[in-house]
Protein backbone atom coordinates (compact mmCIF):
# COMPACT_ATOMS: atom_id res chain seq x y z
CA UNK A 1 0.00 0.00 0.00
CA UNK A 2 1.05 3.61 -0.44
CA UNK A 3 1.63 5.51 2.79
CA UNK A 4 1.87 9.28 2.73
CA UNK A 5 3.94 10.68 5.60
CA UNK A 6 4.33 14.30 6.71
CA UNK A 7 7.19 16.31 8.22
CA UNK A 8 8.78 15.98 5.70
CA UNK A 9 6.18 15.10 3.08
CA UNK A 10 7.09 11.74 1.47
CA UNK A 11 5.51 8.50 0.29
CA UNK A 12 6.60 5.01 1.28
CA UNK A 13 5.39 1.56 0.26
CA UNK A 14 4.26 -0.96 2.89
CA UNK A 15 3.18 -4.50 2.03
CA UNK A 16 -0.46 -5.34 2.76
CA UNK A 17 -2.74 -6.72 4.03
CA UNK A 18 -1.77 -5.33 7.42
CA UNK A 19 -3.58 -3.88 10.45
CA UNK A 20 -3.11 -0.15 11.08
CA UNK A 21 -1.28 -0.85 14.35
CA UNK A 22 1.20 -3.13 12.51
CA UNK A 23 1.88 -0.45 9.89
CA UNK A 24 2.55 2.10 12.66
CA UNK A 25 4.87 -0.35 14.43
CA UNK A 26 6.76 -1.03 11.21
CA UNK A 27 7.23 2.71 10.65
CA UNK A 28 8.20 3.17 14.31
CA UNK A 29 5.36 5.64 14.98
CA UNK A 30 3.49 6.11 18.24
CA UNK A 31 -0.30 5.74 17.83
CA UNK A 32 -0.76 8.65 20.27
CA UNK A 33 1.18 10.99 17.95
CA UNK A 34 -0.65 10.36 14.68
CA UNK A 35 -3.98 9.87 12.93
CA UNK A 36 -4.44 7.48 10.03
CA UNK A 37 -6.63 8.76 7.20
CA UNK A 38 -7.94 6.63 4.31
CA UNK A 39 -9.79 8.70 1.72
CA UNK A 40 -11.81 11.16 3.82
CA UNK A 41 -12.12 8.83 6.80
CA UNK A 42 -10.14 8.19 9.94
CA UNK A 43 -9.35 4.55 10.60
CA UNK A 44 -8.72 2.88 13.96
CA UNK A 45 -5.76 0.68 14.90
CA UNK A 46 -7.58 -2.60 14.31
CA UNK A 47 -8.57 -1.73 10.71
CA UNK A 48 -7.20 -4.10 8.07
CA UNK A 49 -5.47 -2.25 5.26
CA UNK A 50 -5.27 -3.84 1.83
CA UNK A 51 -2.29 -3.82 -0.50
CA UNK A 52 -4.09 -1.47 -2.91
CA UNK A 53 -5.01 1.06 -0.17
CA UNK A 54 -3.54 4.54 -0.01
CA UNK A 55 -3.35 6.09 3.45
CA UNK A 56 -2.05 9.28 5.00
CA UNK A 57 -0.35 9.22 8.37
CA UNK A 58 -0.98 12.67 9.77
CA UNK A 59 1.07 13.91 12.72
CA UNK A 60 -0.99 15.55 15.47
CA UNK A 61 1.85 17.07 17.46
CA UNK A 62 2.70 20.71 17.00
CA UNK A 63 5.42 22.85 18.53
CA UNK A 64 2.89 25.12 20.27
Q: Which of residues 26, 31, 48, 54 is near another protein by CB under 8 A?
A: 31
- Give the SS3 label for residue 46: coil
Q: Is 33 in the site for another protein (CB under 8 A)?
A: yes
Q: How many CA atoms lie within 13 A of 22 on its CB side?
A: 12
Q: Is 42 in the site for another protein (CB under 8 A)?
A: yes
Under DSSP, the state recorded for 31 is: G
Nearest to 59 by CA among 26, 34, 42: 34
Q: Which of residues 6, 25, 48, 50 is near another protein by CB under 8 A?
A: 6
**Where does this chain bind another protein (CB under 8 A)?**
6-7, 30-35, 37, 40-47, 58-64
Amino acid sequence: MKVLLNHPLREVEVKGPRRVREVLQELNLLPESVLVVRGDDLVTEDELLKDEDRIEIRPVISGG
